């Protein structure tokens, strides 16, 4: 089995066969946001983070993290760690087996090196319009220079090709 097929089987295959997808959609109150960090490139108030994905369970996110740290280019070659944040779901996810998505609002400032710092994140929104409403509220509450509303497909793995560092 190739790496991509193995990675997909960690999340998709087992759940679809067991009916987990329908149950997860029906009962989902929170998701687990997996971030991997290159600790060697992180400093002071900056963290070199890679948002890997949103998952239905913490265990699922841990399995994906372990796979990336052992097998995916960059993550297995450099000192990387992971963290998992629980994100409440605001709204009701559609009860479908197709790719469901959520939206998350993120705000940040940049430092002199143009690195993202002072990052704030929202919970997850089942509806895009709810996320844009939250964006307005967060802008009023948190002074940040940059803002984004990002769409996350639940269970999708970002950064599957890994990363490499450029030599300067």
Judged against a pLDDT cut of 50, whether residue 7 lies above it is answered with no
Judged against a pLDDT cut of 50, whether residue 10 lies above it is answered with no
User: Over the stretch 108-142, which tens digit does the pLDDT of each residue have?
Assistant: 999 999 999 999 999 999 999 999 999 999 999 99
Tell me whether residue 165 is in a domain.
no
Confidence of residue 8 (pLDDT cuts 50, 70, 90): very low
User: Over the stretch 147-166, which tens digit does the pLDDT of each residue have?
Assistant: 999 999 999 999 999 999 88
Q: Would you state the pLDDT for residue 16? A: 40
> Of residues 82 and 97, which shows the higher confidence score?
82
Range of the domain at 18: 3-153
Confidence of residue 168 (pLDDT cuts 50, 70, 90): low
Tell me whether residue 159 is in a domain.
no
Q: How many domains does the chain have?
A: 1
Tell me whether residue 166 is in a domain.
no
With a CB cutoff of 8 Å and minimum separation 6, the contacts of 159 are: 36, 50, 51, 52, 68, 72, 75
Tell me whether residue 122 is in a domain.
yes
Tell me whether residue 162 is in a domain.
no
Tell me whether residue 160 is in a domain.
no
Tell me whether residue 167 is in a domain.
no
Tell me whether residue 168 is in a domain.
no
- Written in H, E and C, the secondary structure of the chain is CCHHHHHHHHHHHHHHHHCHHHHHHHHCCEEEEEEEEEEEEEECCEEEEEEEEEECCHHHHHHHHHHHHHHCCCCCCCCEEEEEEEEEEECCCCCCCCCCEEEEEEEEEECCCCCEEEEEEEEEECCHHHHHHHHHHHHHHCCCCEEEEEEEECCCCCCCCCCCCCCC
């Amino acid at each position: 089995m190739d790496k991509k097929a193995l990675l997909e089987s960690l999340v998709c295959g087992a759940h679809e066969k067991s009916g987990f997808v329908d149950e997860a959609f029906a009962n989902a109150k929170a998701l687990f946001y997996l971030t991997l960090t290159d600790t060697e490139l992180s400093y002071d108030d900056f963290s070199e983070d890679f948002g890997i994905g949103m998952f239905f369970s913490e265990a699922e996110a841990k399995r994906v993290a372990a796979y990336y740290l052992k097998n995916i280019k960059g993550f297995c070659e450099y000192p990387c760690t992971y963290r998992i944040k629980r994100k409440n779901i605001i709204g009701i996810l559609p009860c479908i087996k197709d790719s469901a998505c959520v939206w998350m609002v993120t705000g940040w400032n940049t430092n002199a090196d143009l690195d993202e710092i002072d990052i704030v994140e929202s919970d997850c929104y089942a509806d895009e319009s709810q996320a844009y409403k939250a964006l307005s509220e967060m802008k009023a509450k948190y002074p940040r220079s940059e803002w984004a509303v990002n769409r996350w497909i639940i269970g999708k793995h970002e950064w599957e090709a890994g990363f490499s560092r450029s030599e300067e």
